[in-house]
Amino acid sequence: MKDHLAKSQLQALSVGLLPFDESSSASQHLSTCGRCQLQFAEELTGPATIAAFRLTPEMWFKHDHLNLEQLTSLIDTQIDSETVEILHVHLDSCASCRAGLKHLQEFRHKNAGENRPVILDRPAQRVNAVFLEKLFTRPRAFAIAAIIVVCVAIVSTVLISKRFRPSSAKDSKVAIPSNAPAGPYTGEAKSSNDLTVAMETLKDGPQEITIYRDGRLDGLNQLSSNARQEISSALQKGYVRFPTVLKELSPTASSLRGSGEHSAAFKLIYPSRQVIIESRPTFRWQIMLGASSYQVYVMNSAGKQVVRSDLIASTETSYVAPHRLPRGEVFQWVVIAIVNDKEIISPAPAEPEMKFAVLSAQDRKELDVMNASNSSLARGVFFARTGLLAEAQIEFQKLVQQNADSMLPRRLLKWVEETRQHR
């Protein structure tokens, strides 16, 4: 074919309506002619054509109606299973052939006593390799398959060129929000108009909070813009920025204080590698059998001693700090048990240091604001961001109970639970 394809031919070819005798030569010409490829791509990328362009098997034989011999073969089951599958591909999308098959079956039943029903509304089946092989050995199917391969190649080229072309002034009007979802949450594709649509409304104590696709929040207006943005980001992503202080509190091999082979005979209980709200904590530990007394020591990150208790009776397993510890700092603590005039220290030299951090003064003031908001969501995000993971888990559990059908609070709860498990 030397002449270029007419627009009507391209339109018919794009939807599989070109007669068989023309489709083969047209597809061959299309594979070598750049001009016709561009015009064909325009037909494919048009709004009406794109909506109708599908590569599903039922579209390949949409216009190949079954003849009487094929309908009779279906009723008499005189053909192999692969051919039956091919014919059913067309029957699934052609009401005319389904009606013809039904009328032929009724006629055979009425006049010859036939009673072998054909199941038309069978469950959808995955087309296997044998079916595809048989399908593409048919002459007309081969021509249509060639057209489809060319179409896919052209559409891919057009889409790639659009993806990497320079942005125009019109394209730059659509702004992507900086806090767009980056986590597992999936929803409808967002267009510039969809950004103003509410993603979800959550019950949160006595109030409701609505989050929009552009990250805006309705509710919690008493909080600062930074706090609201942090809450919005957490809802969209399904997690909260991991606090760096928790990395410092995590046990590491470098924190070992000796080379002893044995662990302490008793363990420290609280505070245990966590952030705490109170600045005068109550230290707690397990009882040491045979101990006559205990003594508690607290050091700051520089190794300077900030607390040293008097001897504590063997019946006591707790001790309240005698003064407030500086906020925003990291500390380590040990307990020495006196057993038969020998000192047994916990944690043992072969074990990591027992550290904790006191919530900073600024975060302590912000916590008062969060408590005043009466919002489990606000408190949960605040606790998670500052390293108070146990408290965050409690607040997210409350939020899940109030919104049983919502995935947003469930994702936050799952994140904090997994984070605590891996610490």
Average pLDDT, the chain: 75
Residue 170 has pLDDT above 50, yes or no: no
Residue 61: other Cβ atoms inside 10 A: 23
Q: Which two tokens stand for residue 235?
A: 């809802």
b/e burial code for range 204-231 (CB count within 10 A of at least 16 → b) = bbeeebebbbbbbbebbeebeeebbbbb
Residue type, 409: P
Rounded CA gap, 146 and 130, in Å? Answer: 19
What pLDDT was estimated at residue 283?
98
Cα four-point dihedral sign 343, 344, 347, 348: positive
Distant-in-sequence contacts of 1-6, Cβ < 8 A, 24+ apart: 1/25, 1/26, 1/28, 1/29, 4/33, 4/35, 4/36, 5/29, 5/30, 5/33, 5/36, 5/39, 5/40
Residue type, 290: G
Cα four-point dihedral sign 402, 406, 410, 411: negative
- 341 touches 166 (CB < 8 A): no
Residue type, 294: Y
Residue 39 has pLDDT above 80, yes or no: no
- Predicted structure pTM score: 0.54
Residue 324 has pLDDT above 60, yes or no: yes
DSSP annotation of 114: -
Average pLDDT over residues 141-168: 50
Rounded CA gap, 101 and 160, in Å? Answer: 45
What one-character-per-residue DSSP string does 228-278 give?
A: HHHHHHHHHHSS-PPPHHHHHHS--GGG-----SS--SS-EEES-SEEES-
CATH 2.60.40.10 boundaries in the chain: 254-358
* pLDDT classification of 86: cutoffs 50, 70, 90: confident
Q: What is the pLDDT of residues 236-293, one digit of tens each?
A: 999 998 888 998 998 864 444 544 445 568 999 999 999 999 999 999 999 999 999 9
Q: Which two tokens stand for residue 365?
A: 């003031």
CA distances from 170 to 148, 160, 191, 378 (A): 33, 19, 14, 38
The partner residues of 221 in beta bridges, in order of sequence, read none
Q: Which two tokens stand for residue 129?
A: 């390799």
Alpha-helical runs (H) found in 165-243: 225-237
* pLDDT classification of 135: cutoffs 50, 70, 90: very low
Residue 218 has pLDDT above 70, yes or no: yes
- 399 touches 384 (CB < 8 A): no
Helix axes 81-91, 95-112, angle to 10 degrees: 120
Burial class (CB in 10 A: 0-12, 13-18, 19+), 84: middle
DSSP annotation of 351: S
Average pLDDT over residues 165-184: 38
b/e burial code for range 267-303 (CB count within 10 A of at least 16 → b) = ebeebebbbbeebebebebeebeebebbbbebbeeee
Residue 59: other Cβ atoms inside 10 A: 17
**Under CATH, which number does the domain 254-358 receive?**
2.60.40.10
- 346 touches 268 (CB < 8 A): yes
DSSP annotation of 172: G
Q: What is the pLDDT of residues 341-395, one digit of tens each?
A: 999 999 998 899 999 999 999 999 999 999 999 999 999 999 999 999 999 999 9
- 334 touches 354 (CB < 8 A): yes
The tokens 């500086």 sit on which residue?
326
Q: Which two tokens stand for residue 67?
A: 């003849």
- 361 touches 277 (CB < 8 A): no
Residue 59 has pLDDT above 70, yes or no: no
Rounded CA gap, 208 and 228, in Å? Answer: 14
Helix axes 139-164, 34-45, angle to 10 degrees: 80
Rounded CA gap, 358 and 271, in Å? Answer: 10
Q: Which two tokens stand for residue 135?
A: 């399908």
- 393 touches 376 (CB < 8 A): no
Burial class (CB in 10 A: 0-12, 13-18, 19+), 370: buried
